[in-house]
Structure 1
Amino acid sequence: MVAIETKNDIVYFDKKIGYITHNQLIITKGSKKNKIYINSIKRVNLFKSRVLLSNLICFLTSTSLLLYVYLYLKSNKNITFYSLIVTGIVLLVYSFIHKFYIYKLVIKENNDAVVEIKTTQIYRDQIKDFYKTILNKIPKT
């Protein structure tokens, strides 16, 4: 992420997302580039959604582990019994505490074409900076 001003008119540059010049927005998706003119942008939205699949998997694993320990190993209280209980409790707590987000930037053009950029929370700062720069560049209506 670099915010610079050069003779090439690059206002914002990011290797993963793309770059913004004074009159256009170039979005990179792998080797493909998408060009959008700033004047043709109608609306820009940034959505944040939580991924619950990992929480659900941890919860189901921990409850099944605790049920297995309670039903089959309760009479056999050795080191395996206590280590499985601790593992089940740690997984259960982790399933409630863990949060992972996906960010989706939606750019709607005047001709009703929609461009979406999806990223994870690893690139959270980059997508937020990209969004703010686009908001500053589009004309206010």
Structure 2
Amino acid sequence: MKTKKLLVTSLMTLLLSPVVTSTVQTVEASTDTTTVETSTVKESDYNYLKEQRSIWTKIAKAALKKAIQNRSEVINAVRSVSGNTVARQADKYYGAIVNALKPLLEWSEVPAKAVYDAVYRSVRNAGASSSVATNIALAVREAVSWIL
């Protein structure tokens, strides 16, 4: 499971941090003056990434759907990430966690920070303390990334 997480994390890092360089061309005119043209990076330059992004979006949405449908898998994953205490708290606030994850299914791209923020807000609004909400949100974010 650790190798799967390492593989997914390293691939996501490579895909989400593209190297952007601007191209500088020097054109010499007949009057011996030099002009510099800088071409900006356009969206069309990254069309090749759209297919790869849609794959990661599908994976993220499948993980969210699986987390919504399988309470025991989420609680077991949280237990393996953060221990029994946080797993009991996540079990207690599982309804709030599901309510936080459902709206994320409508997003075109789902970053891990969005999962953390949504779960934190929802658990906090359900009456948990800030530290409990932070622990649950961190564990759920990791658990969702590990589900697949």
Task: Say whether the fold is shared (TM-score over 0.5).
Answer: no
TM tier, shorter chain? Answer: under 0.3
> Whose strand fraction is larger, Structure 1's or Structure 2's?
1
What TM-score comes out, normalization by structure 1 length? 0.28
What TM-score comes out, normalization by structure 2 length? 0.27
Larger Rg: 1
> Whose helix fraction is larger, Structure 1's or Structure 2's?
2
